[in-house]
Amino acid sequence: ALLGEVRALREDVQSMRRDLAQVMESAMAEVFPDPQGELPQGWEWKQTSDVAQDTNRKNPSARPDKSFSYVDIAAIDNKNYCIHLEGVKEIQGKGAPSRARKVIKANDIIFATTRPYLKNIAIVPQGLDNQICSTGFCVLRAKPDKVIHEYLFFAVLTNSFINQLIPKGANYPAVNDSDIYQAIIPIPCPDEPVCSLTEQRRIVSYLNRIAEETRAMDALLEHDLRDLDALEQSILAAAFRGEM
């Protein structure tokens, strides 16, 4: 009976974690309407290319003895939407993979083009400024007079943005950079830059607060799961020894 109660508790905690994962999705859906939905007054749909610029490439093998940090899809944490620095590879130019071509700068958004529904999306941290990522990413660099990089990040993370891409990758689970640049995102008051950027900052602050709260709650639930796993093992060990 005790073991059954522990396992039931674990199911409850796992269910709470699944519900928690939907909190951020709901918050973003509240802020970013569906392309078929109605926009707040003064807002407009803009192609990603209107608010973000493409970035340059270079061939690291041109400097064979120079070391650089290389980010590929394996380094992306698609639960917390960040780059795991321990997953970033340090490579010399002469050993660079053929896909190591795209230059990244701090605050760029990297968006994996294979299976976009997996949301392998992250903001480049300061420590990876002027490094290299795989051609398997579309690199989005916010035009600072049009969009805040964190607003752009949240906008491309939404299901409404991803759903614009999925039909194009239906036969093969990948899209290309132009698909991402042609997709649309909602921009507040684009004809009034000061007003637009102020509203974007407010939205980013709101979403960051929810993200921090959900991460903190998830960490507590993860700790509870570890405790329940340990309790289950101790119950099984006691039963094996005939103590129950």
Question: What's the CA angle centered on 176, arms 173 and 178, to 5 degrees?
Answer: 145
- Superfamily designation of domain 22-215: DNA methylase specificity domains (3.90.220.20)
- Give yes or no for residue 9 having a pLDDT over 70: yes
- Give yes or no for residue 171 having a pLDDT over 70: no
Q: How confident is the model at residue 172 (pLDDT cuts 50, 70, 90)?
A: low
Which tens digits make up the pLDDT trace of 197-240?
999 999 999 999 999 999 899 999 999 989 998 988 888 888 88
Alpha helices, DSSP H only, in the chain?
2-31, 48-51, 149-157, 159-165, 177-182, 193-240
- Rounded to a whole number of angstroms, the distance between the first and last alpha carbons of the chain is 11
Confidence at residue 168, expressed as pLDDT on a 0 to 100 scale: 62
Confidence at residue 244, expressed as pLDDT on a 0 to 100 scale: 64
What is the pTM for the complete model shown? Answer: 0.87
Question: Which two structure tokens, joined as six digits, stand for 119?
Answer: 């949301």
Which tens digits make up the pLDDT trace of 104-160?
999 999 999 999 999 999 999 999 999 999 999 999 999 999 999 999 999 999 999
Confidence at residue 169, expressed as pLDDT on a 0 to 100 scale: 55
Which tens digits make up the pLDDT trace of 55-85?
889 888 889 899 999 999 999 999 889 999 9
Which tens digits make up the pLDDT trace of 18-30?
888 889 889 999 8
Confidence at residue 173, expressed as pLDDT on a 0 to 100 scale: 79
Confidence at residue 170, expressed as pLDDT on a 0 to 100 scale: 58
CA distance 112 to 117: 10
